Structure 1
Amino acid sequence: MSLKFSVLASGSSGNAIYVETEKTRLLVDAGLSAKQIQILFEKAACGEVGDIDGILVTHEHSDHIKGLGVLARKFKLPIYANKNTWNAMNGLIGEVNTEQKFEFEMETVKTFNDLEVESFGVSHDAAEPMFYVFHHNGRKLALMTDTGYVSDRMKGIIRDSHSLVIESNHDINMLMMGRYPWNIKRRILGDHGHISNEDCGHALADVIGDGTKHIYLAHLSKDNNMKDIARLAVEQTLKTHDILTGDQVFLHDTDASQPTKLAVV
C-alpha cells in the first residue's frame, strides 16, 4: 500500500517524474524524447511505459512536453492538463486523439484509483503552470519546480510533505557572471522565472514538518549550478533556520539523464 516515485530526469534539458501506488502509475511531464523516457523507465525499474495510467502535464515548455505527443500516440495514453495549457500545446505535440485528452484544472483534486492528486498554481512564464501533490494512505509527495518565487499559498499546499521534489535552479553568482545575455538573466531572476539555491533553502525552512524526511533538489541549471553547490547552499540556509540535514531531513540530488532510485514516500 506504499506510494513510490522516481525523478527520471530533471533539469533545463528535460523533465519527467514517475509516481506509483499498488493500483496506479502516473508520469508527470515528458520533457525528453519518447525513446529516452523508455530507457529511463528501464533504468529506474519502473516497468513498461505503456502500462501507466496517464501523463500529467505541468506546463507547455519543451523541457516538459518534448516526448508527450509521441508517447501518447505510441501507447494510447491519456494526457491531463488544464485548459490554458492544452491551448498552449496546440501545434507543439502533434495530433492527439480526443479520447486521450482530459482536463485537470488548477486548484482541484482528481482521484486516480487509490491515489488523490492535488493541483496548484506556480509563478512561471507559461500559460497556466501548475504542479502536483500526491496523497495516498496517509503519505504525501509534493512536486514543485519552475517557479519564480514560493508564495505563502504554495508553502501551505506543500507543507509537511513526507517527500518533496523542489526547484533549486541556480547559483546567483554563477548566473550573474555567466554567458547568458542580460534579458535571459533577468527572466530567470524574475518572479516568473526560477528560484535560486538560497531561495529554495528559505522556502524549505517554512515547509519542512515533523513528517518531512526526504528532499530532492531539482531542475538544476546546466550552466548556472552544480549539484555540490546547490546542496551546500541549501544545507547552509537550512542551518540558519536550525534545521540540520542528514539528521532531521535528507537531501538528494537529481540528474538530467540518470533517474533516482525508486523510493518509498
Structure 2
Amino acid sequence: MGVINRTPDSFYDRGTTFAFDAALRAADTAVQRGADIIDVGGVKAGYGEHVTAGEEARRTVPFIAELRARHPDVVISADTWRAEVASECAEAGADLINDTWAGADPDLARVAAEYDVGLVCSHSGGLAPRTDPHRVAYTDVVADVAATVTGLAERAVELGVGADRVVIDPTHDFGKNTYHSLELTRRLAELTATGWPVLVAVSNKDFIGETLDAAVTDRLAGTLATLAVSAWEGARVFRVHDVAAARRALDTVTRLGATETGNGGV
C-alpha cells in the first residue's frame, strides 16, 4: 500500500505530493515499483490546520477519479474518518476505506456496506481524530487492540460489509507510546491469529524514530526491519512511503518463508 498524501503538511513528505500533478506522478511511480494499493489521504493525521470535510473531499475525490482512470486494476484506498467524504471517494472509484480513527464516525461502516467497498478497522485508544495520547496506559495493549478491532470488524459485517473486505489495523502510535507500538510488533501473531487480515502502518513512525534515535529522514532501516518482522508474524497489508524498498524486503521474507516450509523458494 503506497501512501499518497494530498496534504501540505504531512509529517513525512512535507507537502511533496500536495499538488495534483505531483501526486499523480508519485502514484504512477508507486505502481511501477510494486504497489498493489494506493492510499490517498487529504488530512494530516496529527495536529495541524483544521481541514473541513469539503476541503478534504476537494483534495481527494478528483484525484481518486483520475487515479481510477489511469490505473483500473490498482486497489484505491481512501484514508478518511468522515462518512461524507468516504461516500464521495467511493463514488469516484475508491475500493477501500482506510479508517485510522477507529470508527469515530459510526456511519463510515454503513458507507462501506452501501458501496460494497472494503473497510480498515483500527484502534486509537479512544482518541478523537487528530489528537495525540497523553500518559496513555493499558493493562495489556495487545488485548485492548484485539478486542477493539475485532469488535469493529464484526460490527461492519453485521452492517453489510463483506467479511472478505474487512482488514484490521493495530494502528501503531495512534493512542499509544513507543513501548506499546513495539509490543504490538512483537506480538503481532496474536492479531493475525484472529483470522482477519492484518494491515500494518509503521512506515517512518515516531516509535521507530524514538527506538533508534533517528530523525524522520533516517528511519528506512527501522521501517524495513519492522515490516519484515510483521510479515513473518502474518501481516498481509503494508502501508509504506518507499514502495520499492518495502517490496524488496517483503519479497525476501516471502522467499525465506517458502524455503523454511520446504517449498524451495524461487
Common fold: TM-score over 0.5? no
Where is the strand percentage greater, Structure 1 or Structure 2?
A: 1
Q: TM-score, normalised by structure 2?
A: 0.39
Where is the helix percentage greater, Structure 1 or Structure 2?
A: 2
Q: TM-score, normalised by structure 1?
A: 0.39
